[in-house]
Structure 1
Amino acid sequence: MIEFKLEGEFIPLIQLLKATNLVQTGGEAQIVVSEGLVKYNGNVDTRKRLKVKRGDIIEFEDQKILVI
């Protein structure tokens, strides 16, 4: 599991995927989110501007990100 230390109140989902190196570009992040390949707290979520906060868990390609 990847632990991501959040600076501030939230991080947009697309930026989180880039910051953890699970995708290479913002465009790639938008595609995987819109295709339903990303789970937010256990559920598929296609919102590109989703605000991820502390305690949230993001799943993508057998990787889990815990936002702390």
Structure 2
Amino acid sequence: MEKIKIKDDYIKLGQALKLAGLVSSGIDAKFVVQDGQVKVNGEVDTRRGKKLVPGDTFEFDGTIVEVE
């Protein structure tokens, strides 16, 4: 499991995907999230603006990332 550290109280899902290097741009993040390819805490979430807090996990393309 990979991990990303955040400085603020939360990070939006689209930003987290970019920070983890799973997508190259916000547009790519938008499409993979809208297409239902991303799971947040084990469940598909289609909201790019979903707020993730430390302890949350998200998964895309077989890679699981934990927010710290």
Following TM superposition, by how much is the alpha carbon of 1:61 offset from its aligned partner in structure 2, in angstroms?
0.4
Determine what percentage of the aligned residue pairs are the same residue.
41
Confirm whether residue 53 of structure 1 aligns to residue 53 of structure 2: yes
Following TM superposition, by how much is the alpha carbon of 1:6 offset from its aligned partner in structure 2, in angstroms?
1.5
Deviations 1:46-65 (A, max 9, x none): 01110010000101001000
Q: Provide the rounded CA distance (Å) in 1 between the counterparts of 2:43 and 2:62.
A: 14
Q: Provide the rounded CA distance (Å) in 2 between the counterparts of 1:11 and 1:48.
A: 11
Q: Which 5+ residue runs of structure 2 have no aligned equivalent?
A: none
Q: Which amino acid aligns with 2:20?
A: T
TM-score (normalizing by structure 2) = 0.97
Residue aligning to 2:7: 7
Q: Provide the rounded CA distance (Å) in 2 between the counterparts of 1:56 and 1:49.
A: 14
* Runs of 4+ with >2 A deviation: none
Q: Provide the rounded CA distance (Å) in 1 between the counterparts of 2:19 and 2:67.
A: 12
Residue aligning to 1:65: 65
Q: Which amino acid aligns with 2:54?
A: R
